[in-house]
Chain A
Amino acid sequence: MNHANGSAVAGSSSGSGDDLAPRRNSKRPKYSRFTQQELPACKPILTPKWVISVFTLIGVIFVPIGVAALLASNNVVEIVDQYDDKCVPPNMTNDKVAYIQNATFDKTCIRTLQVLKNMSQPIYVYYQLDNFYQNHRRYVKSRNDEQLRKASQANETSGCDPERTANGAPIVPCGLIAWSLFNDTYKFSLDNKNLTVNKKGISWKSDRDHKFGKDVYPKNFQNSSVIGGAKLDPKIPLSEQEDLIVWMRTAALPTFRKLYGKIEQDLKEGDSIIVTLENNYNTYSFSGKKKLVLSTSSWLGGKNDFLGIAYLAIGGLCFFLAVAFTVIYLVKPRKLGDPSYLSWNRNPAGN
């Protein structure tokens, strides 16, 4: 019985039985460093010298970078003005949602921004939304890139639910993102002179060139019963609707800034800028904040101390670790690879 089992393996392919023996005989393994697992290898080990110098080196590199990053961030001048509450008339503060949803109210609002430091051009104008989930699963997917790119694909509205069609016709651009386009507007004046805000080139060039068609025009947009955000001029192709393009670069986080325009003019300390804004966009229903941000920029981008502080902290920590390891090493030296540390050498009965 067992013998039969034994040959079961052997007989599993009847043809191989007879050629197995000769093949085995001639099959001396060919020598190569790979097959013998003898490829030359370097084997770094964690010696104190090596580890301590790595930490020191990290410290040495990180601290200057941290300083540079912090300086860059500090050099950025930023004016932030939260206007969502301020631009609601005092009598409406109890029901902001009703105020914002009522089209008959005048939404104009005047804000004054003080320039605390000299700002050199270009000065970026951002609007910042808080607690706005552009990354929400329902929202972020609700678009159709094909439709945006090609005029011939105007009927392609898959994925755009629930803003696919209005009155039976497809919407261009379809989807929730386009539908909820931000529609506050800002006008700036300094010393009673208009500050021109350049709204050209605020979006990615690649988007204008390749993602939004030059021959795709808004169609049937904001025609449904509920109007979301801004309306689009049906005569301007999507590739030139830069506010839309910027808006449709969805933000990954619920707090985000989007470029509104650029002020190509230096601002001096003490200047006060009058902003005339149209407060149209509804953030009240979900208690989101709206902020207007004027900011210069550095090689690292906008004002963000995080990287600088992080680099400084980590650099310092690495220095500390390096010092700590050195001290431990000096206080309690340990011979590397002493076989007497091996448990079976310490305790002969152990084996």
Chain B
Amino acid sequence: MKRFVYINDDSFQDLYCDNTISNRKYTLWNFLPKNLWEQFRRFMNQYFLLIACLQLWSLITPVNPASTWGPLIFIFAVSATKEAWDDYNRYLSDKKANEKEVWVLKDGIRKHIQAQDIHVSNIVWLRENDEVPCDLVLIGTSEPQGICYVETSALDGETDLKTRVVPSACIGLAPEQLHKIKGVIECPNPDKDIRRFDANMRLFPPFIDNDLCPLTINNTLLQSCYLRNTEWACGVAVYTGNETKLGMSRGVPEPKLTAVDAMIDKLTGAIFLFQIVVVIVLGFAGNIWKDTEARKQWYAKYPEDGPWYELLVIPLRFELLCSIMIPISIKVSLDLVKGIYAKFIDWDEEMYDHDSRTPSHAANTAISEDLGQVEYILTDKTGTLTENKMVFRRCCINGSFYGNESGDALKDVELLNAVANNVPDVIRFLTVMTLCNTVIPIRSKSGNISYKAQSQDEDALVNAAAQLHMVLISKNGSILEINFNGTLLQYEMLDILEFTSDRKRMSVVVKDHQDGKILLLSKGADEAILPIAYAGQPIRLLVDAVDQYAQLGLRTLCLGWRELKEDEYREWSHAFKEAGSTLVDREWKLAEVCQRLEHNLEIIGVTAVEDRLQDGVPETIEILRKAGINFWMLTGDKQDTAIQIALLCNFISSEPKGQLLFINGKTEDEVLRSLERAVLTMKITSSEPKDLAFVVDGWALEIILNQYRAVFTELAILSRTAICCRVTPSQKAQLVELLKSCDYRTLAIGDGGNDVRMIQQADIGVGISGLEGLQAARAADYSIGKFRFLKRLILVHGRYSYNRTAFLSQYSFYKSLLICFIQIFFSFFSGVSGTSLFNSISLMAYNVFYTSVPVVTVVLDKDLTEKTVLQNPQILFYCQAGRLLNPSTFAGWFGRSLYHALVVFLITVHAYADEKSEMEELSMVALSGCIWLQAFVVTMEMNSFTILQHLAIWGNFLAFYFINFIFSAMPSAGMYTIMFRLCRQPSYWITVVIIVVVGMGPVLALKYFRYMYRSSAINILQQAERSRGPIFSMGGLESQLKPIEKDVASLSTSQSKFRNSVCEPLISDSSTATRRSTFDFLQPAQSRLSSSYLRNYKDN
């Protein structure tokens, strides 16, 4: 499965597709069939189509087929138009990309051609700031070292510049030579992995010998990247068109279905069954009535023996009559309101992040209700709870601690003195900080140097080193220049042993140009570095340092150093190159080779970098936990750091209120034992008001997920809080999967590429558009700027969306059932023959217009103000437990529609009896009754009335009469003059009024009774809110305040045990924050003061 690309050789070009990009789903010709096919994959649509087709059979249709075809065509036209419009826009952007002019080498000369005409094996020339038109293998750049810089944000969302290098075989070729270059690139078939490109290149004579040159992703320029800071670059097209890495990774993720949607589907199914039963019963009754009674009714002129399908006619008629039970309008209404919910999220000013100037964004418009039903939040730590702005705080060099509570290491006089005095250990420490990374220094025009780093940690270290006078000035290919106290030092970067999440360390091999020594510089997590220290090194102190820093919530890295012997390096380098050019299992082989070099390190010191908590994280977590949401923290960080951060942000409580259950162990037995112990403890203490949380690390988790899933699931159900450290992206996704399999609604929030899988796996994925790029935000359903917006997203938007959809969907069924029941009742008065009481126009307008418009204003309905909800987050329970939309509430609506149908029908029939029982009139009276009733139902169920609601509800009345007046004025319409006649009759108005009162009276009385004497928490808060303004749940607050303070106190005492007073800023930070959160309710102004004070405090 390989592809051979012969460089600059046109003879094979037909083998592969050209570079025409096509994101389109449809073509002009297949649009209609394909779109229809897609739409008809939905059960609802199939159902409606069946009904519409049956209606074409005039023998059975009770109404004009237009009453179903109209709405059906409308709905289809709307979604088709939307699809077509999206596709057209895609076509336009494709066209723009395809017709872009690019320089391509043709017959030895550079020519301007359109991007779509590029073929595999063509040599493409790019200039600075050009977009890469297809996947290229770099063969030449303007830079003498053969490097170029690319921005890959369109591909992976990472905004930093990345370096790409010309393969060794091509380094130093002049542009003229590049015109003549010939060779073959052996590369895998197109795939979508943008992190891997395991290929080989062999140039043909006269260029270089037949040496096989390995290619990696670093030798490629991928489609949609931009060439930056490089005058020109050229490359060989290897993948084109839709076969590029980008093209292959295109695709629509699986659509997510909300719990509400699933419930609606279930209810629809139930209604469908009910409908079938009704149809069968009425069909039987109809046929029996026909045989016993109707044959006697000479005026109906039933033929003696009908056609073979005669028995089916009446059931089918009832099927059509009852088809309105499933409201055709529900899909349109729901899509509409869901779109508006999403817009409200986009528009929300309070979720606008002023720092990064990003508004919140709902990429998935269909799942807002699920936000209100979240039960588990799985959160990443770095960049999500923390700011991911790393600040170098402390370090420990050779046993001396630098930096303390009064200042950072950078301001520590001792350290500055040590640097000034050229203390060798400190210098080596700084050298590792400066060199052991993949940071790219960029010198701006004014001469300032800024760094582009892929990892925030590296950025912090390089910047810290620069402040300590060890400045990385430039990186020209493999030559690194460092300015140390005015002296220029040069190093040659020989190899980079890259960081992978499995290795948890990275190393570089550099050659010191000053003395020609070859050095291995490593940095990494303590457990990855300390085991490879040379035997006999006193690492006790380092372990202590790491522990101390971790207790403070700092991220630690150990730095190591080893001098390599010339021949040792040479030997290893050969193996490394070999491993780098394998096509199979390259990563694994590389890791193995790296390990061969990384041993016997001298550990020079430990760095500690602070990752500050984002504003408002503790409050947010506290509020959401009060709302009954369980939190799991999934982090790649080490256990101590994770626990510390968890304590700081109210995630877990310290002893004695909280207890952590550790699940660890190296072997399966150990893991199982600690797991079972945890479950047991969890069960025993479940009655005590104690916050239990379990902590598990990646290693144990791997064993658990493979072997003890059932026990772990049990634990997961029991535990409200969990911390999983050292977990890999796929484990994160597995944990989401596990919770989902227990039928919990999960929300995953993260900011980095390692969270993408979890975000896509979860019911709701939220991405923080943070510093680690937009990758997570792009994959997510919602992207927000800050973690603290999550509470608003869930409590305000999620809750409102759920409430609104719950009402809207049930109401849609209610109104459809209402009119359907009337039809059914009428059939008992019309010889069970399937006559429709209402005419086609009324039926159609009733469903798509009269009853759909007013209820859509439910998008503005608020049962409680945002403030009340945020102050009483417990209220979210109603949404979580699905209290507003479930079979029993639905049964209530079902009963209401049955009752209302009875009321409308019986009153109409009795009031319009005898000489008044004219068909058209009676049907209009009944219809008016329905319209009036439904308007009052909407009014009764709506909680707040803005001008729009008033307009829609009362305007709907006017519209109803207006439309019917129009139809009554048309002589050709069936209902000619009916409405005019009715409106002149006092009995019409009297009938309608009594229908409303009889229909709504019990509803009002019942609602009032419940509201007063069986009031739900929502009712109480509503009353409180409206009787004396915003409510403060004082009692609750007080009781919450105390334990928190106790928490903090115990936290600080436990802290002081470890480190006399080192941890002051962090602790005081958290306690002020908690106190602030409590005061927030009472004195918003003061809280602003205190928060600004806090910020100042931090800045100082």
Q: Which residues of A contact B (CB under 8 A)?
A: 1-18, 20-21, 24-31, 35-37, 39-46, 48, 51, 54-55, 58, 62, 65, 69, 124, 126, 128, 132-140, 145, 159, 162-163, 176, 179-180, 204, 206, 210-211, 228-229, 249-259, 282, 285-286, 299-302, 304, 306-307, 310-311, 314, 317-318, 321, 325, 328-329, 332, 334, 336-345, 348-351
Residue of A nearest to B223 (CB): A14
Q: Which residues of A are found within 8 Å of B89, using beta-carbon distances? A: 13
Instruction: Establish whether residues A337 and B1026, one from each chain, have CB atoms under 8 Å apart when the complex forms.
Output: yes
Smallest beta-carbon distance A14→chain B, Å: 6
Distance in angstroms between the alpha carbons of A25 and B460 in the assembled complex: 25
Chain A to chain B contacts (Cβ below 8 Å), 20 pairs: A2-B757, A6-B753, A10-B778, A18-B131, A26-B357, A35-B343, A41-B946, A45-B1023, A51-B1004, A69-B990, A132-B299, A135-B919, A210-B976, A252-B922, A256-B915, A307-B991, A311-B994, A314-B998, A329-B1012, A351-B1040
The residues of B that contact A137 with a CB separation of less than 8 Å are: 62, 317, 830-831, 833-835
| Contacts of B943-966 to chain A: CB distance below 8 A | 943-949
Shortest CB-to-CB span from B410 to chain A, Å, is: 32
B23 CB within 8 Å of chain A: yes
Residues of chain B from 12 to 30 with CB closer than 8 A to chain A in the complex: 21, 23
> In the complex, which residue of chain B has the Cβ closest to the Cβ of A284?
B296
A307: which B residues are within 8 A, CB to CB? 911, 987, 990-991, 994
Min CB gap B56→A, angstroms: 15
A36–B911 Cα gap in the complex (Å)? 48
Complex CA–CA separation, A310 to B990 (angstroms)? 11
The answer to the question of B82 belonging to the interface, with a C-beta cut-off of 8 Å to chain A, is no
Q: A17-B153, A286-B293 are in contact. Are A2 and B753 (CB under 8 A)?
A: yes
Query: Are the CB atoms of B760 and A10 closer together than 8 Å?
Result: no
- Give the shortest distance, in Å, between B864 (CB) and chain A (any CB): 9
What is the distance, in angstroms, from A312's C-beta to the closest C-beta of chain B? Answer: 11
Indicate if B971 sits at the interface (CB-CB under 8 A). Answer: yes
| Interface 9-residue window, one of B247-255, B575-583, B1079-1087 | B247-255
**A24 (CB) vs chain B CBs: closest residue:** B358
Residues 994-1018 of chain B, each 1 if its beta carbon lies under 8 Å from chain A, else 0: 1001100100110110011101010
B989 to chain A, nearest CB (A): 10
Q: Among A7, A20, A163, A342, point to the contact of B156 (Cβ < 8 A).
A: A7
How many Å lie between the Cα of A340 and that of B1036 in the bound state? 9
A-contact bits for B69-99, CB 8 A (1 contact / 0 none): 0000000000000000000011011101100
| A253 pairs with B909, CB closer than 8 A | yes
Asked if B246 is an interface residue, CB under 8 A from chain A, the answer is yes
Q: Which of A30, A249, A339 contacts B1035 (CB 8 A)?
A: A339
Which positions 771-811 of chain B face chain A at CB distance < 8 Å?
Answer: 774-776, 778-779, 800
* Residue picked from A21, A25, A137, A345, most chain B C-beta under 10 Å: A137
17 A-B pairs besides A2-B757, A6-B756, A65-B990 with CB distance below 8 A are A5-B249, A7-B155, A7-B157, A14-B93, A18-B154, A35-B344, A41-B949, A133-B294, A137-B62, A256-B915, A286-B298, A304-B914, A321-B1001, A329-B1012, A337-B1023, A340-B1035, A344-B1017
B974 (CB) vs chain A CBs: closest residue = A145
When the two chains form the complex, which single residue of A8, A14, A39 contacts B154, counting CB atoms closer than 8 Å? Answer: A14
Binary CB contact string for chain B from 827 to 851 against chain A (1 if under 8 A, 0 otherwise): 0011101110100000000000000
Q: Which residues of B contact A133 (CB under 8 A)?
A: 294, 297, 300, 830-831, 833
B176 an interface residue at 8 Å Cβ cutoff? no
The 7 A-B pairs of least Cβ separation, nearest first, read A337-B1024, A15-B93, A17-B154, A337-B1023, A6-B756, A137-B833, A35-B347
- Interface flags for B902-913 (1: CB within 8 Å of A; 0: not) read 000001011111
Within the complex, the shortest CB–CB distance from B970 to chain A, in Å, comes to 10
**A61: nearest residue on chain B (CB-CB)?**
B993
B730 interfacial contact with A, CB 8 Å: yes
Total B residues in contact with A, Cβ cutoff 8 Å: 151
CA–CA, A205 to B155, complex, Å? 75
Q: Are B987 and A301 in contact (CB under 8 A)?
A: yes
A43 lies within 8 A of B915 (CB)? no
Q: How far is the CB of B134 from chain A (nearest CB, A)?
A: 11
Where chain B touches its partner, the secondary structure class is helix
- Whether A8 lies near B250 (C-beta < 8 A) is yes
B915 touches which one: A257, A286, A340 (CB < 8 A)?
Answer: A257
- Chain A residues with Cβ below 8 Å from B717 are none
**Does B338 sit within 8 A of A, measured CB to CB?**
no
Chain B residues with CB under 8 A of A139: 299-300
| Nearest CB of chain A from residue B711's CB, rounded to whole Å | 27
A2 touches B730 (CB 8 A): yes
**B913 x A304 contact (CB < 8 A):** yes
CB distance from B865 to the nearest CB of A (A): 9
Closest partner residue, chain A, to B90 (CB atom): A13
Contacting pair A8 B987 (CB below 8 A): no
> Which of the listed residues B153, B226, B1005 has the most CB atoms from chain A within 10 Å of its own CB?
B1005
Residues of A within 8 A of B909 (CB): 253
Cβ of B192 < 8 Å from any Cβ of A? yes
A6 lies within 8 A of B779 (CB)? yes
Chain B residues, Cβ within 8 Å of A345: 1033, 1035-1036
Is B1077 among interface residues, defined by CB-CB distance under 8 A?
A: no
A162 cross-chain contacts in B, Cβ below 8 A: 301, 303
Given contacts A11-B155, A307-B991, contact A54 B1004 (CB under 8 A): yes
Residues of A near B153 (CB, < 8 A) are 17-18, 21
> Does B270 count as interface, using CB distance less than 8 angstroms?
no
Given contacts A15-B97, A136-B300, contact A337 B246 (CB under 8 A): no
Given A15-B96, A310-B907, residue A136 in contact with residue B297 (CB < 8 A) = yes
Indicate if the CB atoms of A348 and B251 lie closer than 8 Å: no
Residues on A with C-beta less than 8 A from B193 are: 1, 3-4
Which residues on B sit within 8 Å (CB–CB) of A349? 689
For A10, list chain B residues within 8 Å (CB). 154-157, 774-775, 778-779
Q: B1020 near A136 (CB under 8 angstroms)?
A: no
Rounded to whole angstroms, the CA-CA distance of A334 and B192 in the bound complex is 66
Q: Which residues of B contact A311 (CB under 8 A)?
A: 990, 994
Chain B residue contacts of A26, Cβ below 8 A: 357
Which residues from A are CB-within-8-Å of B915? 124, 126, 256-259, 301-302
Q: In the bound complex, what is the Cα–Cα distance between A11 and B23 (angstroms)?
A: 10
Note all chain A residues with C-beta closer than 8 A to B916: 301-302
Which listed residue (B154, B343, B733, B1024) contacts A338, Cβ 8 A? B1024
- A138 near B301 with CB under 8 A, answer yes
Complexed CA–CA distance, A328 and B1034 (Å): 30
Contact assessment for B986 and A299 in the assembled complex, using a CB-CB cutoff below 8 Å? yes
Contact between A51 and B93, CB atoms less than 8 A apart: no
**CA of A30 to CA of B1005, assembled, Å:** 43
Write the chain B residue with the least CB distance to A325: B1008
A192 to B792, CA, bound (A): 90
Decide: A14 near B224, CB < 8 A? Known: A6-B157, A137-B835.
Answer: yes
**Centre residue among B245, B769, B866, B1017 by max chain A CB count within 10 A:** B1017
Return the chain A residue nearest B1024 by Cβ.
Answer: A337
Q: Are A12 and B250 CB-contacts (below 8 A) given A41-B862, A65-B990, A302-B914? A: yes
Complex CA gap A148/B404 in Å reads 102
Whether A9 contacts B778 by the Cβ 8 Å rule is yes
Assess whether B349 is in contact with A31, with CB atoms less than 8 Å apart. Answer: yes
Q: A7-B155, A12-B251, A258-B915 are in contact. Are A337 and B835 (CB under 8 A)?
A: no
Residue in A1, A255, A338 whose Cβ sees the most chain B Cβ within 10 Å: A1
Give the distance in Å from the alpha carbon of A255 to the alpha carbon of B919 in the complex.
Answer: 12
Tell me if B1022 is interfacial: C-beta within 8 Å of chain A.
Answer: yes
- Which residues of the partner chain A approach B352 to less than 8 Å between Cβ atoms? 28-29
Q: In the complex, which residue of chain A has the Cβ closest to the Cβ of B978?
A: A206
Residue from the list B872, B911, B1015 in contact with A304, Cβ < 8 A: B911
B348, CB-defined interface residue at 8 Å: yes
Closest chain B CB from A276 CB (angstroms): 23
Q: A6-B156, A133-B830 are in contact. Are A341 and B1020 (CB under 8 A)?
A: yes
When distances are taken between beta carbons in the complex, the residues of chain B under 8 Å from A255 are 913-914, 917
Please give, as numbers and ranges, the residues of chain B lying within 8 Å of A321 by CB-CB distance: 1001, 1005
